[in-house]
Amino acid sequence: MTENYFEVLRPGINSTFQDNGRKNFYHIGIPFSGAMDNRNFVIANAISNNKKNSPVIEFALQGPKLRYKGDKVYFNVTGDVNFQILRKNKIEEGVCYQNLVLENNDCLDLISTNRSVYGYLSINASFKIDFYLDSCSVNTKAEIGANNGKILQKNQIIKIENITKKYSSNKLDYIVSKIENIRVIKGPHFDYFSETAKELFFKEKFRITKLTDRMGIRLDGPKIENIKYTNIKSEGLVKGTIQITADGDPIVMLSDHGTIGGYPKIGVVISADYDKLVQIPPGSKIKFKEINLKDAETIYKLYEMETRNLISKIK
Amino acid sequence: MIKNISNLGDAALYCDFGNDVNREINLNVIQFFKNIKKSNIPGITNITPSYNKLIISFDLSITSFDKIKTEVEQLNFKNEIVNLGNLIKIPVCCDNDFALDIKRLEKLLNLEKEEIYKKFFSKKYYCYMTGFIAGMPFLGDLDDSLYARRLDTPRVKVPKNSIGLTEQFCNIYTFESPGGWNIIGKTPLDIFDNKNNTSPNLINPGDTISFFQISKSEFEKKYD
């Protein structure tokens, strides 16, 4: 039996193993984690004919460069990713959303994401990795999940097993639409802010700063003036919560967020817009749009239908 | 008991138990947390107790705010506040190498360090909640002569296992982390064990903690 593995020639900026995360541990300080862009994660596994929740490698902005050793294996990349496959005698430009092949000694160079943040690498096989509390998802702050809770490291080996021999030419024509408006439901502390601040929050644009990672997004824009308390007694947070710091800047909680926080919550991003929000790169501007709960629920049903529809179009 | 239930976004319930921070309100929160956990309502993905709020996250593809709210309201709990937690003893070394802010506290509180430690070690503390970073317990209440504000400029890196004080609370930094609490010592115990796949937390909401002082040599022995 030959050993199949990737050798990490370049780890990329923030490359981690992810699945759809771990549930029921907020009360001990462990967030969901999981793939940031859930739709692209689900599609990657669907193209691979993998089980829905199979581990993938998620990468941010610059991805890893991997040398493959072993038997022929199929893989696909989802997101908006510029990548190449360096074969024995030629360089092949990569195409997202379709199964491609890697043979012994080929290199997969996930160069960068285009005007987006996250991309996903799925293989028609399984990564030989550890699970912690029912999930492989790496949370680097708690040092848990696959790869000892760490991002990919230069020169490390990623073992691969259960290679599917049969090739399926699965492919999806999909162009991810980019958005600027993020829909938000008002939070429990909305009235802590001045009338002007409330108006500015839904009228002005905010810039996504470089202080942005899997834990959260720090925004830069007009200061949101608090007229009540700039700190609250610490309480739970959820993915998508927008807190306003004592300095008046919004911060949005993302998948690896701290489970409790002490800043007032002005609003929460709706579930249907989360995948799109996390893909907006630092330097871009976003605008918040107010929406009520009923409409958010309807939009979520549409979001789910759209995902199912995309999966049914894979052929 | 719950004063109000509202939505936090489209996939969570925000249960408000009031604005005060005290053991009685928090026991209600924790009792409610345990009862909901036991009830196994389909679709609930996370429950987060804190001082006086409880947040219930759910999977929007399975259920919705109205459904979960009705189910939560219909649960008929006996209002039995029983023995909720365990008593856990935590060793602390207060050597000058670990008690990073003891000089600041002596000035701020106008107390000698011996008095600060005497007051700190003579009380038992109640765990209101755990979180922010994995496993970090928020404990209280300190003797009111020990109330101190946060550092003016938070540390970029508080060493792992440091014991910190602020206002009426103390906590244990389960990981190296940024933070602004006044550090008075360090424990050799791992409060969060990331190799433990079943119950990584040593301290859970509702537990009672008593700290006891150890010498540097005892600390180093326990570290081996």
Tell which of A109, A131, A161 closes a domain.
A161
Interchain CB distance below 8 Å, A29 and B55: no
Domain enclosing residue A116, as ranges: 4-161
CB contact under 8 Å between A297 and B10, yes or no, is yes
What order of strands is seen across the sheet that includes strand B12-16?
B4-7, B12-16, B53-58, B44-49
Contact map slice: B 138-197 vs A, CB within 8 A: 138, 174-175, 192, 194, 197
Structure tokens at B17: 């138990």
pLDDT, tens digit (0-9, with 9 covering 90-100), for B124-148: 999 999 999 999 999 999 999 999 9
Q: Does A192 lie in the same domain as A72? A: no
Buried b (16+ CB within 10 A) or exposed e, A287-302: ebeebebeebbebbee
- Domains in chain B, start-ordered, CATH in brackets? 4-74 (3.30.1360.40), 87-223 (2.40.100.10)
Question: CA B172, CA B187: separation in Å to the nearest integer?
Answer: 8
Q: Kindly state the percentage of chain A with pLDDT values over 90.
A: 92
| Contact (CB<8Å) B64/A297 | yes
**Distance from C-alpha of A64 to C-alpha of B145, rounded to nearest angstrom:** 54
Q: What 3-state class would DSSP assign to B160?
A: coil
On whether both A123 and A262 belong to a single domain, the answer is: no
CATH number of the domain where residue A263 is located: 2.40.100.10
d(CA B217, CA B92): 12
**Pairwise CB contact (< 8 Å): A258 & B12:** no
A251-305 per-position pLDDT tens digit: 999 999 999 998 999 999 999 999 999 999 999 999 999 999 999 999 999 999 9
Contacts of B8 in chain A (CB under 8 A): 187-188, 238, 241, 265, 268
Distance (Å) from the alpha carbon of B44 to chain A's nearest alpha carbon = 8
**pLDDT above 80 for B223:** no
Prediction pTM value: 0.94
A170 lies in some domain:
no
Residues A23 and A139 in one domain: yes
Domain membership of residue A258 (yes or no) is: yes
**ipTM for the predicted complex:** 0.95
Percent of chain A having pLDDT more than 70?
100
Are A21 and A146 members of one domain? yes
In a domain, A66, yes or no: yes
Are residues A62 and A141 located together in one domain of the fold? yes
Summarised one tens digit per residue, pLDDT across range A136-181 is 999 999 999 999 999 999 999 999 999 988 888 899 988 877 788 9
Contacts of B18 in chain A (CB under 8 A): none
**Mind telling me how many Å the CA of A159 is from chain B's nearest CA?**
21
Local structure of A37: helix, strand or coil: coil
Residue A174: inside a domain, yes or no? no
Kindly state whether residues A157 and A227 are assigned to the same domain.
no
Is residue B9 within 8 A of residue A241, CB to CB? The reply is: yes
For residue B123, pLDDT over 80 is answered with: yes
CB contact under 8 A, A300 and B21: no
**Total domains in the fold of chain A:** 2
Q: What does the alpha-carbon distance between residue A41 and residue A56 come to, in Å, rounded to a whole number?
A: 8
* A246 and A294 together in one domain: yes
Shared domain for A59 and A127, answered yes or no, is yes
Task: Give the CA distances from residue A256 to residues A58, A138, A167, A295, in Å, rounded to whole numbers and listed in that order.
Answer: 14, 9, 35, 27
Residue A302 counted as domain residue: yes
- What whole-number distance in Å separates Cα of residue B66 and Cα of residue A125? 41
Given a cut of 90, whether residue B122 has pLDDT beyond it is: yes
Mean pLDDT (chain B, rounded): 93
The DSSP secondary-structure symbol of B19 reads: S
Structure tokens at A260: 């409790």
